[in-house]
Amino acid sequence: MNYDSKIQATDLQGIPASATGNPLADYDQQDRAARRRMIGLIALGLLAIVAIWFFIHRGGKDAANTDTQQVPVVTVVEPGRSAIAGEISATGTLAARREMPVGSVGEGGQVREVRVEPGDWVQQGAVLAVIDRSVQTQQIASQAAQVQVAAADARLAQANLDRALKLVDRGFISKADVDRLTATRDSAVARVGVARATLGQLQAQTARLNILAPAAGLVLERRAEPGQVVTGGSGVLFRMAKGGEMELLASMSEDDLAQLSVGVEAKVTPVGSGKTFVGQVWQISPVIDPQTRQGTVRIALKYDPALRPGGFASAVVESGTVVAPMLPESAIQSDDKGQFVYVVGAKGIAHRRAVKTGLVTSKGITVTDGLTGTEKIVLRAGGFLNDGDKVKPRSATAVAR
């Protein structure tokens, strides 16, 4: 082996040439790989820059759109101001406006006949019940005979006096005899008066045996039956409503009583009748029950068969006119701090505002303090809002369309 073969067999670093190949070719491959890695890194950087730009510009718009979509849409109403007829609702019991208890006013006796039933209309003086008067009839007949006896005695006494006066001038009868005969005549005439007065008393007592209607009206209750023995202490035998007039005894609070006056109109609806009757307040209780804090309002009603005493009825009473904003019940919220509404401002921000309410009607609730009527009030969903929330208002008229 010579020196050249040794140089070919090994490279300058002592590595066999058969194992490493051409060193210049290896360096070229490494350089191309490094350039490819650099190009890849630059491309990734450019992609990252483009992604960041897209997120900042396009993604920001999506976020803004998302925020816009999350703003709640609420229905608002501008109540304005209007004249509202005040109404007060109440309930109570129907009763006779002027109830007349009727009983026996005479000596009494056995009931022979009852001529009326509950619900009958009778005139003043009508016989409600007939009482047996067989004994009283005999007493009247006897006393009438006594009147006749007394009258006969009076006529005889007058005749004796007349004859005596004719004999006085002739001297056959003294003045004393004339005076005695005159006294006898006067006594007989007086007995006639007593007998007639006793007869009239018996007749009046007999006439009072029958139970009569003290005034025209409606019979409400009957407690007398044929065969029953009644006296002046038997109590009430019939109950009547004078003139058939009824009334509703409605219970109301102190605040409601303060808004009423005598003569205002009221509409009364008895339970189960389906009819409404128009009446008037004729009396307002001057006393408040200290336990219930309520008073009684008496509403007069004309006679109608559908109005039954003791029945239950509801009433709506007019309480004057108020000019104020009116809102539906859904717009008014309440908590420990009191009643309030949400008012939407020009920038779409909902603000809480305290209010005071007044009359409650079938159309809504009047607001007596806190609103002018020009505000935009959240109509519904106020319970889901907080003071300062951003909302998107939509008019109630637009919703109705």
User: In whole angstroms, what is the distance from residue 47 CA to residue 272 CA?
Assistant: 82
Q: Name beta bridge partners: 301.
A: 246
Q: In the predicted model, is pLDDT for residue 401 greater than 50?
A: no
Q: Give the domain CATH number at 158.
A: 1.10.287
The answer to whether position 387 is within a domain reads: yes
Q: Are residues 338 and 306 in the same domain?
A: no
Please determine, for residue 12, whether its predicted confidence score (pLDDT) is greater than 60: no
* Same domain as 142, residue 38: no
Domain CATH code at residue 115:
2.40.50.100
Burial readout 171-199 (b: 16 or more C-beta within 10 A, e: otherwise) = eebeeeeeeebbebbeebbebbeebbebb
The stretch 31-60 carries a mean pLDDT of 71
52 pLDDT higher than 80: no
13 within domain boundaries: no
Has residue 344 been placed in a domain?
yes
Instruction: Pick the range with the lowest mean pLDDT from 43-52, 192-201, 214-223.
Output: 43-52
**pLDDT recorded at residue 318:** 80
Residues 114 and 225 in one domain: yes
Whether residues 273 and 338 share a domain: the answer is no
Confidence class of residue 13 from pLDDT cuts 50, 70 and 90? very low
Q: d(Cα 66, Cα 59) in Å, to the nearest integer?
A: 10
Angle between helix 134-168 and helix 175-207 axes, rounded to 10 deg? 160
pLDDT for res 382: 67
- The pLDDT score that the predictor gives to residue 249 is 94
Instruction: Say what the pLDDT of residue 117 is.
Output: 93
**DSSP 8-state secondary structure symbol assigned to residue 59:** I
pLDDT at residue 2, rounded to an integer: 44
Helices (H) and strands (E) in the chain, counts: 8, 23
- Does a structural domain hold residue 2? no
Classify residue 341: in a domain, yes or no: yes
- Which of 243, 264, 287 is where one domain is finished? 243
Please compute, for residue 395, the number of CA atoms within 13 A of its CA located in the half-sphere on the CB side.
6
Q: Is the pLDDT of residue 319 over 90?
A: no
- Do 383 and 333 lie in one domain? The reply is yes
Partner residues linked to 361 by β-bridges: 364
Q: Are residues 124 and 216 in the same domain?
A: yes
123 and 238 part of one domain: yes
List own/partner pairs for 263-267 with CB under 8 A and 24 or more apart.
264/317, 264/318, 264/319, 265/317, 265/318, 266/299, 266/315, 266/316, 266/317, 266/318, 267/315, 267/316, 267/317
Residue 256 lies in a domain: yes
CATH code assigned at 288: 2.40.30.170
Residue 157 near residue 187, CB atoms below 8 Å = yes
Name the 3-class secondary structure at 320: strand
Comparing 41 with 332, the larger pLDDT belongs to 332
What's the pTM? 0.53
pLDDT value at residue 278: 92
pLDDT score at 171:
66
Is the pLDDT confidence value at 240 over 90? yes
Q: Which range (67-71, 91-95, 260-264) has the least confidence?
A: 67-71
What pLDDT is attached to residue 23?
56
Q: What is the mean pLDDT of residues 177-182?
A: 85
Encode pLDDT of 136-156 as tens digits: 888 889 999 999 999 998 999
Same domain, 34 and 157: no
Within a domain: 6: no
DSSP designation for 169: T
Query: Residue 380: its pLDDT value, please?
Result: 81
Average pLDDT value over all residues in the chain: 82
The Cα 265–Cα 319 span in angstroms is 9
Domain annotation covers residue 68: no
β-sheet bridge partners, residue 145: none
- The two most distant CA atoms of the chain are separated, in Å, by 232
- Give the model's confidence band at 127: pLDDT under 50 very low, under 70 low, under 90 confident, else very high: very high
Three-class DSSP category at 10: strand
Contact 227, 168 (CB under 8 A): no
Pseudo-torsion of CA 209, 210, 216, 222, nearest 10°?
110
pLDDT at 337: 86
Based on the domain organization, do 261 and 237 belong to the same domain?
A: no
Residue 365: pLDDT band by 50, 70, 90 thresholds? confident
Share of the chain above pLDDT 70, in %: 86
Distance CA 379, CA 10 (A): 98
Residue 7 has pLDDT above 70, yes or no: no
Which pLDDT band holds residue 8 (cuts at 50, 70, 90)? very low
Structure token pair of residue 319: 């309480």
- Interval 106-126: pLDDT, tens: 778 889 999 999 989 999 999
In contact, 97 and 245? CB cutoff 8 Å: yes
Q: How many domains does the chain have?
A: 5
* Separation of alpha carbons 71 and 385, rounded Å: 11
Same domain, 199 and 257: no
Model confidence at 20, pLDDT cuts 50, 70, 90, reads: very low
Q: What angle do CA 337, 338, 344 make, to 5 degrees?
A: 95
- In this structure, of 179-188, 199-208, 301-310, 390-399, the range with the lowest mean pLDDT score is 390-399
Residues 121 and 226 in one domain: yes
Indicate whether 66 pLDDT > 60: no
184-193, 300-309, 332-341, 375-384 — which is least confidently predicted? 375-384
| pLDDT tens per residue, range 159-172 | 888 888 877 777 67
Per-residue pLDDT at 43 exceeds 50 = yes
Same domain for 274 and 307, yes or no, is yes
Strands (E), 277-355: 277-284, 294-301, 312-324, 326-327, 333-335, 338-344, 350-354
Residues 6+ apart with CB under 8 A from 254: 288, 293, 294, 295
Contact 350, 389 (CB under 8 A): yes
**Locate tokens 């808004």: which residue?**
259
Mean pLDDT of 340-345: 91
Who wins on pLDDT, 258 or 270? 270
Query: Mean pLDDT throughout 357-374?
Result: 83
Residue 298 belongs to what domain range?
A: 89-96+244-322
